[in-house]
Amino acid sequence: MPARLLLIRHGQTPGNVAQVFRGLESAREPLDDTGHAQARALGTALALLNLPRPRLYASPFLRAQQTGQHLSDALNLPLHTLEGIHEIFTGDWMGRPYSAMQTHAHEMTAPDGQFGYPGGESLVQVGERFHSALVSLNSQDGKTLLVVSHGAALVSVLARLLGRDVRATWLSGEYTHANTAVTELLWNGEDQPTVLRLADASHLQDEALRF
| Sequence spans of domains, the chain | 3-13+43-87+112-205
| Per-residue model confidence as pLDDT tens digits over 32-63 | 999 999 999 999 999 999 999 999 999 999 99
Q: Does domain 3-13+43-87+112-205 match CATH 3.40.50.1240?
A: yes
The predicted-structure confidence for 162-203, as pLDDT tens digits, reads as follows: 999 999 999 899 999 999 999 999 998 877 899 999 999 999
Q: Looking at residue 193, what is its pLDDT?
A: 93
d(CA 134, CA 91): 25
Q: Are 77 and 47 in contact (CB under 8 A)?
A: no
64 in the Ramachandran plot: left (φ > 0), alpha (ψ -120 to 50) or beta? Answer: alpha
Model confidence at 210: pLDDT above 90: no
Residue 209, pLDDT above cutoff 90: no
Sheet of 194-200: strand order equals 79-81, 54-58, 144-149, 3-9, 182-187, 194-200
